[in-house]
């Protein structure tokens, strides 16, 4: 793209952001590098545009994202910059999406800028292969650690990679014992570092069987508490809530955990559930009981939410972001929603 065209693209992006309803930023679509992306602001409830309350949450704007780039989509996992103004997400095809968020004067989410796609590397230093069987590239969660490095978990070939910098060659992070017994597409879907340096991971489809499970009940979802080096401190369990499955975790500064879940049925469509687990339940052998904070079903703007991130709100409470995975399906959407959770 010429300098003149690039300048025009920036002007268009700024004008679109100021107008609010929709916009586009970046350069021409490409496999890696700057990405042209379109957004449209959406209501929490299209049938009741003034609705802002969702359980205990307050809606602060949302975007429906799209792009002509063939590898845009499949977003799973979400992490924020220390200032909370930029995001990184991983995709089912092994790419990393970066973007800066744009906000209105009232704090509402209004758009994105500086959007780019980057191919992740494996422990051999080479870019992840894009295989039809998703054997190498199915990234599901990304979390920023206190030292600025990142953990990325993968399904199909179950593993966690530790990136000192996301553009560099990672190292293999120790795996929880028994994780290889989880379903091919139901491994380490949810992950979060805890304030004390431990790491909590939870599987999407790996569940207890039988009645002898050390305090757990049959059908509970299995997870682990890891130390900062990846060593297992023991298993934890989350009791199923209907058809909802775990998709992401986020820790609050006091050690409590937010748990994102999704469900899908042909009759009722997509559903999202967000709940909270108290810090005193995050210990080995515990059956972690949660308290529901919010639930979304149609006609609300819901899709397959797999990304969750939280950031302290300077006015009090926390800002919550939800990100959906469109599965590269034209009938689904990539949604980025912002909420306020009172303290």
- Write down the pLDDT at residue 21: 45
pLDDT score of 304 more than 70: yes
pLDDT band at 212 (very low <50, low <70, confident <90, very high): low
Q: Among residues of the chain, what percentage have pLDDT more than 70?
A: 89
**pLDDT tens column, 22-80:** 565 554 444 578 999 999 999 999 999 999 999 999 999 999 999 999 899 999 999 99
Domain locations in the chain as residue ranges: 25-341
Residue 16, pLDDT above cutoff 50: no
Which pLDDT does position 133 carry in this prediction?
64
CB 59 within 8 A of CB 337: yes
- Residues 184-206: what's their mean pLDDT? 93
User: Bridge-partner residues for 323, per DSSP?
Assistant: 307, 336
* Average pLDDT over the chain, rounded to an integer: 89
Is the pLDDT at 327 greater than 50, yes or no? yes
CB 339 within 8 A of CB 51: no
Sign of the C-alpha dihedral, residues 287, 291, 294, 299?
A: positive
**pLDDT at residue 19 above 50?**
no
Residues 273-278: contacts with CB under 8 Å, at least 24 apart: 273/241, 273/244, 274/55, 274/57, 274/308, 274/320, 274/322, 275/241, 277/238
Residue 177, CA distances (Å) to 68, 137, 222, 234, 322 in order: 41, 22, 11, 9, 30
Task: Write down the pLDDT at residue 25.
Answer: 57
Q: What's the average model confidence in pLDDT over 9-28?
A: 42
pLDDT in tens, 119-146: 999 999 999 987 766 677 889 999 999 9
**pLDDT tens for residues 245-277?**
999 999 999 999 999 999 999 999 999 999 999
- Is residue 27 within 8 Å of residue 8, measured between CB atoms? no
Whether 9 has a pLDDT exceeding 90, the answer reads: no
**Whole-prediction pTM:** 0.90
Tokens for 132, please give them.
């039809």
Q: Is residue 198 within 8 Å of 227, Cβ to Cβ? A: yes
| CATH architecture type of domain 25-341 | 5 Propeller (2.115)
d(CA 231, CA 64): 39
**Residue 12 has what pLDDT?**
34
């Amino acid at each position: 793209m010429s300098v003149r065209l690039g300048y025009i693209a920036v002007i268009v992006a700024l004008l679109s952001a100021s107008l609010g309803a929709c916009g586009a930023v970046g350069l021409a679509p490409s496999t890696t590098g700057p990405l042209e992306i379109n957004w449209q602001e959406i209501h929490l409830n299209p049938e009741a545009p003034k609705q802002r309350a969702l359980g205990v949450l307050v809606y602060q704007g949302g975007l429906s994202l799209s792009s002509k780039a063939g590898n845009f989509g499949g977003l799973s996992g979400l992490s924020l910059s220390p200032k909370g103004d930029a995001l990184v997400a991983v995709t089912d095809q092994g790419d990393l999406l970066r973007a800066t968020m744009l906000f209105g004067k009232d704090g509402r989410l209004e758009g994105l800028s500086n959007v780019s796609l980057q191919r992740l590397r494996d422990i051999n230093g080479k870019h992840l292969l894009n295989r039809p069987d998703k054997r190498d590239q199915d990234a599901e969660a990304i979390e920023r650690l206190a030292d600025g490095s990142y953990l990325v978990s993968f399904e199909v070939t179950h593993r966690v990679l530790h990136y000192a910098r996301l553009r560099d060659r990672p190292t293999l992070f120790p795996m929880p014992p028994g994780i290889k017994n989880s379903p091919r597409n139901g491994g380490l879907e949810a992950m979060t570092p805890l304030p004390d340096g431990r790491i909590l991971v939870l599987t999407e489809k790996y569940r207890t069987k039988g009645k002898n499970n050390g305090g757990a009940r049959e059908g509970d979802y299995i997870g682990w508490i890891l130390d900062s080096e990846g060593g297992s401190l023991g298993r934890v369990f989350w009791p199923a809530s209907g058809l909802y499955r775990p998709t992401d975790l986020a820790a609050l500064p006091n050690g409590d955990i937010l748990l994102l879940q999704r469900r899908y049925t042909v009759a009722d469509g997509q559903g999202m559930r967000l709940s909270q687990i108290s810090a005193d339940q995050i210990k080995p052998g515990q059956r972690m009981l949660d308290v529901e904070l919010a639930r979304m079903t149609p006609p609300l703007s819901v899709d397959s939410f797999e990304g969750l991130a939280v950031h302290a709100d300077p006015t009090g409470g926390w800002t919550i972001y939800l990100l959906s995975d469109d599965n590269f399906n034209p009938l689904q959407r990539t949604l980025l929603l912002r909420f306020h959770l009172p303290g």
